[in-house]
């Protein structure tokens, strides 16, 4: 009920996490209302009661231990409640379930690119299914941006040189705005995109290679689109396929095998998501996107045990979409 009163001032709640954020938000608002009313009422009461009067005398004010304990303990409990609740929600927002569909997001001045496992890439529009968790792996090509989908109540910074993740499960079919929520230069306010949440039927056709008509939010049949040849005949290479090609053209395969055998560098097989022992005795708990990226751009930073630091840096030699493809390829070797 207390949440519903605020509903009119909030954007559509298009995901489960949105509903949870809204309850938390309502708690913050109503707590503020209670304190605002209490403080103003006390102020008015005191100004009337202790109004300066002719012949009035000022009394000394002494401490009151009971009241002091009360006004220390209650705010402390409230502050820790806000922290604990907010932290739990934040953790839910950034920790995607294992079976989430993965979409890579590349921010740059001033647009959004979305890269799918099947190699397709879209600018300023991204398609997601309803009622399925979707994880976004976000990075930036230039400066700080922030991926913000108000209807889903998720926001995550896009940081150049590293990956951050956020996820949601859309519950409302339709079109949802994406904003950039970090000032990033001249056209920051124009850095907009759309999330199109489509039905499970249209999603399954989408992942078979069909396109989504953004007006009707339905998958388009091949007869209608003449721009695409039959996907069964000219199946576009997947992101991992592109990564395999890149590993060859960039020369990675000279030193890194894909079958577990040792060359000058460690094999790429089965690296992703597994622990890695380092030459300095440290251990990387899980080789994730950020670890793989660092190992490509700054290979000596976390030298793998048993190898010599002979790999040159690839900093600036791999574009963001290429980096995503290389990582998708390494993941596919598990």
Binding residues vs ligand CUA (CB under 6 A): 107, 110, 145, 180, 182-184, 188, 191
Alpha helices in the chain (DSSP H): 2-7, 16-49, 65-94, 200-206, 239-249, 289-297, 320-332
CB of 112 to ligand CUA, least distance (A): 8
CB of 127 to ligand CUA, least distance (A): 21
- Of 179 and 329, nearer to ligand CUA (C-beta) is 179
CB of 113 to ligand CUA, least distance (A): 12
> Contact, 143 vs 184, CB < 8 A?
yes
Identify any residues that bridge with 174 across adjacent strands, giving them in sequence order.
197
CB of 231 to ligand CUA, least distance (A): 33
- Of 35 and 183, nearer to ligand CUA (C-beta) is 183
CB of 184 to ligand CUA, least distance (A): 3
Distance, in Å, from the CA atom of 119 to the CA atom of 136, rounded to the nearest integer, reads 15
Angle, CA 310 vertex, CA 308 and CA 312 arms, to 5°: 145
CB of 100 to ligand CUA, least distance (A): 24
CB of 297 to ligand CUA, least distance (A): 22
Q: Which of 328, 280, 329 minimizes the C-alpha distance to 302?
A: 280
- Of 157 and 294, nearer to ligand CUA (C-beta) is 157
Distance, in Å, from the CA atom of 52 to the CA atom of 34, rounded to the nearest integer, reads 29
- Of 112 and 272, nearer to ligand CUA (C-beta) is 112
Cα–Cα distances in Å, from 138 out to 103, 120, 279, 324? 9, 16, 30, 10
CA 140 to mean position of chain CA atoms: 12
User: What are 121-126's contacts with CB under 8 Å, separation 24+?
Assistant: 121/321, 124/192, 124/193, 124/194, 125/193, 125/194, 125/196, 125/214, 126/178, 126/193, 126/194, 126/195, 126/196
- Of 188 and 269, nearer to ligand CUA (C-beta) is 188
Distance, in Å, from the CA atom of 120 to the CA atom of 209, rounded to the nearest integer, reads 9
Distance, in Å, from the CA atom of 104 to the CA atom of 193, rounded to the nearest integer, reads 14
- Of 182 and 320, nearer to ligand CUA (C-beta) is 182
Distance, in Å, from the CA atom of 109 to the CA atom of 214, rounded to the nearest integer, reads 24
- Of 154 and 180, nearer to ligand CUA (C-beta) is 180
- Of 95 and 187, nearer to ligand CUA (C-beta) is 187
Q: Which of 331, 317, 230 minimizes the C-alpha distance to 286?
A: 331
**CA torsion angle 245 250 254 256 (round to 10):** -70
CB of 105 to ligand CUA, least distance (A): 12
């Amino acid at each position: 009920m207390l949440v519903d009163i605020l509903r009119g001032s909030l954007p559509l709640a298009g995901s489960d996490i949105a509903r949870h954020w809204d309850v938390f938000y309502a708690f913050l608002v109503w707590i503020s209302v209670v304190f605002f009313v209490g403080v103003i009422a006390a102020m008015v009461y005191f100004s009337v009661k202790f109004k300066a009067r002719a012949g009035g005398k000022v009394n000394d004010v002494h401490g009151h231990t009971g009241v002091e304990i009360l006004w220390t303990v209650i705010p402390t409990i409230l502050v820790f409640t806000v922290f604990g609740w907010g932290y739990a929600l934040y953790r839910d927002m950034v920790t995607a379930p294992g079976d989430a569909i993965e979409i890579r997001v590349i921010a740059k001045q001033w647009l959004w690119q979305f890269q799918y496992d099947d190699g397709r890439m879209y600018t300023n529009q991204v398609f997601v299914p309803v009622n399925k968790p979707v994880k976004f792996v976000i990075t930036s090509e230039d400066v700080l941006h922030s991926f913000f989908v108000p209807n889903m109540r998720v926001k995550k910074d896009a940081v150049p040189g590293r990956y951050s993740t956020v996820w949601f499960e859309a519950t409302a079919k339709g079109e949802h705005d994406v904003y950039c929520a970090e000032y990033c230069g001249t056209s920051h306010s124009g850095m907009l995109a759309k999330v199109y949440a489509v039905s499970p039927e249209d999603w399954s056709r989408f992942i078979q290679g069909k396109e989504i008509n953004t007006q009707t939010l339905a998958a388009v049949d091949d007869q209608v689109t003449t721009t695409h040849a039959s996907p069964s005949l000219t199946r576009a290479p997947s992101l991992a396929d592109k990564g395999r090609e890149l590993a060859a053209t960039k020369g990675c395969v000279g030193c890194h095998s894909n079958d577990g055998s040792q060359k000058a560098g460690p094999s790429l097989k089965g690296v992703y998501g597994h622990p890695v022992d380092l030459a300095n005795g440290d251990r990387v708990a899980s080789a994730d996107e950020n670890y793989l990226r660092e190992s490509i751009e700054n290979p000596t930073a976390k030298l793998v045990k048993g190898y010599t630091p002979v790999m040159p840096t690839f900093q600036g030699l791999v574009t963001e979409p290429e980096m995503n493809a290389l990582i998708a390829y390494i993941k596919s070797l598990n």
